[in-house]
């Protein structure tokens, strides 16, 4: 049972972190209104998947501890970083992200890409903050004692 929970945990981490690391690159990719609309739709779906993977990660991590993995200080550090990411996504990035998604219904035409770039300039630093924490968690998992 423990091996299955570990596989679920690692697989979910790879999926969640993999898509999260694509965010900043995908967001800067579009060169046209159609491309930006496609990317924003894709990112919206990926964001939903990321939220689901967060709950699976937390549950499988707790499952590993319950099934016998020793509770160590690095687990507390990982949990703290995990909750900082959740806070960052839900609070710090939310307004900028919602501003981008509102563009899908509010904006169109020649000024769309200009507005997209302005709103993206507010959102990207928050995404990179989340990426830095994701990197810290990954390093913690790799370098743990």
Domain that holds residue 117: 2-143
**pLDDT on residue 145:** 61
Number of structural domains in the chain:
1
pLDDT of residue 2 exceeding 70: yes
For residue range 44-58, list pLDDT tens digits in order: 777 777 778 888 888
State the distance between the two ends of the chain, measured CA to CA, in whole angstroms.
Answer: 23
Q: Percent of the chain, pLDDT > 90?
A: 1
pTM here?
Answer: 0.71
**C-alpha to C-alpha distance for 99 and 119, rounded to whole angstroms:** 7
Instruction: Tell me which H or E stretch contains 54.
Output: helix 33-66
């Amino acid at each position: 049972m423990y091996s299955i929970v570990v596989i679920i945990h690692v697989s979910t981490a790879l999926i969640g972190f993999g898509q999260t690391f694509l965010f900043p690159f995908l967001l800067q990719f579009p060169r046209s209104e159609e491309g930006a609309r496609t990317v924003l739709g894709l990112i919206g779906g990926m964001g939903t998947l990321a939220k689901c993977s967060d709950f699976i990660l937390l549950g499988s991590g707790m499952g590993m501890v319950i099934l016998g993995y020793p509770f160590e200080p690095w687990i507390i550090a990982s949990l703290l970083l995990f909750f900082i990411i959740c806070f960052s996504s839900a609070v710090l990035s939310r307004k900028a992200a919602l501003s981008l998604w509102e563009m899908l219904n509010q904006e169109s035409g020649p000024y769309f890409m200009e507005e997209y770039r302005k709103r993206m300039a507010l959102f990207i630093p928050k995404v990179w903050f989340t990426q830095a924490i994701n990197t810290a968690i990954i390093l913690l998992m790799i370098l743990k004692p």
